[in-house]
Amino acid sequence: MIINLWSTPRTGSNWYAKYLTKKHPGFLLVSQFLNDYHLYNYMKAGYNDFLYRYEKGCAYKYYFYDKLKQTIQSKIVSKERNLNKAQEEEYRLDLLDKHNPNKNPIIFYNHVMPMSENSYKKLYDIADKNIFLYRKNIVAQLSSYALSYGTSQWKPNPNKIVYENIQVENNILDNLYDRIIYWHTLKKENCEIVAYEDLDFDVYLDNMPKKQNTVPSFDQLHKTTQDYILLLESKFSVFQKTL
């Protein structure tokens, strides 16, 4: 069996992906398998975000096919990538063809954009279930993204720091807004649609991350960034009338 989870950033998708693995014991979770950014990114100790050019000390997640288990596997490799983005995408699509979902049920969690149309269609069509996760409150989503980007705090905030006057460039917010619009234009017939606001972040399951912010992200932003988010909200309201 194959389950796809399709989302955009700051929708609780990391949490929900882990929740799905708790509800489906024995399923393998593969995150951002065909998202463009993850076809050529790197990790580096001490960095809270990904790097997109190799530096000394970088590593990346290398996927391969385990013939004995008939499944996609991964390991961390500490060297420069051998394949460019297009070659990596082709390589991973080939792995997808080899994977045996009957023997090894799998959950693919991906942000819908950026991703090639070919990769999206391939994953969508082979799945037994497609789940689309979104956030009803676009102001909260954009604010959460702005706060994380402006502070480089993408992971849970263990010290519960409250920030003030965090400001980001408008193009950063435009990037997420475009992805949100794209998510809403995708066809979702016979698919499951889940809203962030309906997730039970307090559900008792072992090793589940907790909701990150107790103070609204919007309140921690600079007025310039707040005003631009409200402008995008107005723009989104107009777009919704076209759906």
- Total number of domains constituting the chain: 1
Helices within the chain (DSSP H only): 13-23, 85-98, 117-126, 138-151, 170-185, 223-240
Q: What is the mean pLDDT of residues 13-18?
A: 93
Is the pLDDT at 176 greater than 70? The verdict is yes
Whole-model pTM above 0.85?
A: yes
Whole-angstrom distance, CA of residue 124 vs CA of residue 209: 27
Structural domain including 156 reads 2-240
Q: State residue 86's pLDDT score.
A: 97
Say what the pLDDT of residue 47 is: 77
- What does the pLDDT look like over 33-51, one tens digit per residue? 999 999 999 999 877 778 9
pLDDT digits (tens, 9 = 90+) for 135-162: 999 999 999 999 999 998 876 665 678 8
Question: What pLDDT was estimated at residue 211?
Answer: 61
Q: What is the CATH number of the domain that holds 124?
A: 3.40.50
What is the average pLDDT score of the chain? 93
Q: Of 168, 187, 160, 159, which Cα lies nearest the Cα of 232?
A: 168
Query: What are 219-238's pLDDT values in tens digits?
Result: 999 999 999 999 999 999 99
φ and ψ at residue 112, rounded to 5 degrees: -70, -20
